[in-house]
Amino acid sequence: MIKVLSWNIQQGGGSRIHKIMSALGKIKAQVVVLSEYRNNSNGQKLRGLLLAAGYRYQAVSAATAQVNSVIIASTFPFNTQLFPHSDTEYGHSVIKAEFDAFSVYGMYLPHKKRHRLFDLLLSEISAEKPMILCGDMNTGVNYVDQKGNSFWYADEFVEIQENGCKDAFRYLHHDIREYSWYSHQGNGYRYDHTLVHEDLLPIVTGCEYLHIYRETKCADHSPMLLQIG
């Protein structure tokens, strides 16, 4: 079984890095996508801890030090592809890790900002290998993944699913209401998603939010764990 974990670690992890690493040690995913990663000294420390934990293969973009971006770390080797020209401001927000059987696209899509990253993801669906899209997409289905209708890019989120990449959580859990982040007012939002190419759906055995790590303040988002195989 292969586990793919995606997690918004909140502003680079800060003083919580060791708590985050402890959580990763318990979850034991072979592929880890961390969003809100920051390419600074704290990020370098995190990469060193990931390396010591067995995540020998890592990829980051060329984002500047205080910009929220993404890291993919794996115990399996992979080829990396970056997309610096996908958007004039947010080309650092998507990274591709190509494995033997599939590709993982890790992402941190900006919150309520104009970008063209869904165009990139739609164009990549026709790639040769089936894909897994995961990370903090900062959108979802209005009135389903939140109580209201404040999501930007909700139509694009649905369009990706209509073009072959399905919401693995909904595939397994249907209409259950569950949220990965809560505002200070207590409003829940399902910002974090894992979309799996329909060719891979028959081998999806689990897709869950691990709320305990948000509730114990490792980060303000719940990590999401996909299991395949």
In order of their start, the domains of the chain are: 2-228 (3.60.10.10)
What is the value of pTM for the model shown? Answer: 0.97
Q: pLDDT digits over 216-229, tens only?
A: 999 999 999 999 99
* Per-residue b or e along 99-115, where b marks 16 or more CB atoms closer than 10 Å to that residue's CB: beebbbbbbbbbeeeeb
pLDDT attached to residue 128: 80
pLDDT 10s digit of each residue in the chain, 229 long? Answer: 999 999 999 999 999 999 999 999 999 999 999 999 999 999 999 999 999 999 999 999 999 999 999 999 999 999 999 999 999 999 999 999 999 999 999 999 999 999 999 999 999 997 789 999 999 999 999 999 999 999 999 999 999 999 999 999 999 999 999 999 999 999 999 999 999 999 999 999 999 999 999 999 999 999 999 999 9
φ/ψ of 92, rounded to 5, equals: -85, 0
133 contacts 105 by C-beta, under 8 angstroms:
yes
Query: What is the DSSP pairing of strand 192-197 with strand 165-167?
Result: antiparallel
Q: pLDDT digits over 32-54, tens only?
A: 999 999 999 999 999 999 999 99
In DSSP terms, 82 is beta-bridged to 95
103 contacts 129 by C-beta, under 8 angstroms:
yes
